[in-house]
Amino acid sequence: MQCWICASPANGTCRFCGRAVCREDAKTHPFVLEVYPSDGNLYGLAVEDALHCGVCKPRPEPVLMDFLAAPKAPKPRKSDK
């Protein structure tokens, strides 16, 4: 695999977008692995230096994923008798 940026041999892939990057072009960025509730608080397990390509832009806020919800079933029609 080749680095997305310079085409030299890649050493890893971006945790956020999957692009291949070499050591010279690799950046780091925090990544939250898991969030869990405990004692009325939310705690997060995070990695401070996840591999980042520097090209993609991880969003700072959550994105609504309503398109993943199951489609609503159509209302049954009243049959004419």
Q: Where are the domains of the chain?
A: 12-59
pLDDT of 80 above 70: no
Which backbone phi and psi does 67 adopt, to 5 degrees? -70, -10
H helices, E strands: number in the chain: 0, 4
Between 80 and 57, where is the model more confident?
57
Cα distances (angstroms) measured from residue 6 to each of 13, 34, 62: 14, 33, 31
- CA 60 to CA 76: how far, in whole Å? 42
Portion of the chain with pLDDT greater than 70, in percent: 96
State pLDDT tens for residues 9-45: 999 999 999 999 999 999 999 999 999 999 989 999 9
